[in-house]
Amino acid sequence: MVAGISGFGGSGKSTLARSLESAVQGAVRMRGDDFLDPARSHRRSTDWDGVDRERLMHDVLLPFRDRREATFQRFDWSRRALGEPKPVPRGEVMLVDLIGLFHPSTEAALDLRIWCDVDLETATARGLARDAAIGRKHETLWKDVWVPNERDFSERFDPRGAAEVLFAG
């Protein structure tokens, strides 16, 4: 089973995924940030073009669903390049937490969709606070790119409406 966890940036996707991974026997987590392209994720798009859904599907989700051994490469943010191949984790449930996950190109691989139901303004404030706490100064990026991308993606694909579960984060 593949459970997708999505929501706006700062809505609590990763926190929920970590909690579920600890609580659900046989669960493994795939970090969505490992499938972001830093150059593309820092520019405007209506479909969160910076999410490398093709790599996520081909390298991780489909092999996991088919119970095939496979490898994937995490994005190494310090080197700004793909890292060494790693085995796709094995388990009964894969949890994937990622912005822009509920997209037509990934729908077929998701058995369950969980939306972190936090409004965009609250999620943005949380994301900005999180970034500031670790020394990242992304205010302009949030305002000029990420918030407009979130609005456009929501209007275009209605990810909240696609979810079977709404999680009040």
Per-residue pLDDT of the chain (169 residues; tens, 9 = 90+): 999 999 999 999 999 999 999 999 999 999 998 999 888 888 999 999 999 999 999 999 999 999 999 999 998 888 888 999 999 999 999 999 999 999 999 999 999 999 999 999 999 999 999 988 988 888 899 999 999 999 999 999 999 999 999 999 7
Residues contacting residue 102 through CB under 8 Å, at least 6 positions apart: 4, 6, 110, 113, 115, 157, 159, 162, 163
Residues contacting residue 120 through CB under 8 Å, at least 6 positions apart: 8, 147, 150, 151, 154
pLDDT, residue 17, reads 98
pLDDT, residue 73, reads 96
Question: 149 has which bridge partners?
Answer: none
Could you tell me which CATH number the domain at 2-167 has? 3.40.50.300
pLDDT, residue 86, reads 97
pLDDT, residue 79, reads 86
pLDDT, residue 136, reads 85
3-state SS assignment for residue 33? helix
Residues contacting residue 30 through CB under 8 Å, at least 6 positions apart: 56, 60, 89, 94, 95, 96, 97
pLDDT, residue 18, reads 98
Q: How far apart are the first and last CA of the chain?
A: 23
Burial tier of 130 (Cβ tally within 10 Å: 0-12, 13-18, 19+): middle
